[in-house]
Amino acid sequence: MEISVKEIEKCLEANGIGYKYTGDKSAAVKGFSAINNYKNDTITWIGRKEIAQEYHPDALLVIAQDGLDVSFSNMFICDNSKKAFFTIIETFFNEDVVLTDVGKGTYIGDNVKIGKNVKIGHNCTIDGNVEIEDNTIIHHNVTIINKVKIGANCEIQSGVRIGHDGFAYSEDVDGIKTMIKHHGGVIIHNDVFIGSNTEVARGTIDDTVINEGCKIDALTHIAHNVKLGKNNGVIAGCTIYGSVRTGDNCYIATSVIRDQAVLGNNAFVGMNSTVTKDIPDNSVVVGSPAKVIRTNK
């Protein structure tokens, strides 16, 4: 299958991606490849200066980040070259397995409400007062129980667990521990991605909330009563303890966030940090314990 420049232009325009094209409009590609492992007759991408220094000069068709000093016979120059390149791949070359409406071995309880065009993989358990809105994808071996609402256009990868009680107990005078039953739920807003084998606990009284646009990597633990703001990026292996609050557009890189900590809007937590205190808006913190190293404006 060949994909022409004109077809790619229509794809970018349909997705609202701005571009400038230079070269032969009759050019066509048969696939895609990385610039450092370039394959003939494919479309490729150069997004950073470091990669541009090693680019393949004979590449047939290139998506290039605006501002890079590169030159090719056929080239799309884009403000958001990464989005452009992967939108093209997904549109024309995607070979992912297409899920059926409900996979084999999946149990769906009587009280579950499922919207339009929802796809659910094999061996899932969805039970309780659960609502899943339109166009959401649930992959294999996912458990969603108790009180959970998942918005539209979400993706929940394999092995995710949503809705179990979090870790909380009371003690008597002898130190005997009794687990506290949780009565809250989980609310996941639209356009949220949750990576494989992540755990999201329900709230003790109120709900655990993941707001619109959050992207959560694999093997993350989100404890009870956490509230993530809009468009947070949470990287693999993070532990976010109970009742943490984050603002919008936070980025947390494989770190531990102490219970009840508050992260302001646009907070950036560097890799392997331990956050023990509240973080102001626009702050970059690193270390254990995490300390502010600069403030972004």
Report pLDDT digits (tens) over 178-191.
Answer: 999 999 999 999 99
Q: How many Cβ atoms sit within 10 Å of the Cβ of residue 53? A: 10
Supply the range of the domain harboring residue 67: 3-93
**Measured distance CA(16)–CA(97) in Å, rounded:** 27
Q: Is the same domain home to 117 and 144?
A: yes
Residue 89 sits in the same domain as residue 113: no
Separation between Cα atoms, residue 202 and residue 168, nearest integer Å: 11
Question: Is residue 139 flagged as an active site residue?
Answer: no
| 95-109, 200-214, 279-293: the lowest-pLDDT one | 95-109
> Nearest-CA neighbor of 184 among 213, 220, 149, 136?
149
Evaluate if residue 21 carries a pLDDT over 90: yes
Annotated active-site residue in 56, 140, 182, 224:
224
61 shares its domain with 164: no
Range of lowest pLDDT (67-76, 123-132, 194-203, 212-221): 67-76
CB atoms within 10 A of CB 111: 11
Query: What is the model's pTM?
Result: 0.90
How many separate domains does the chain show? Answer: 2
User: Which residues make beta-bridge pairs with 137?
Assistant: 119, 155
> What is the domain-level CATH number for residue 143?
2.160.10.10
Same-domain check for residues 84 and 162: no
Specify whether 83 is located in the same domain as 119.
no
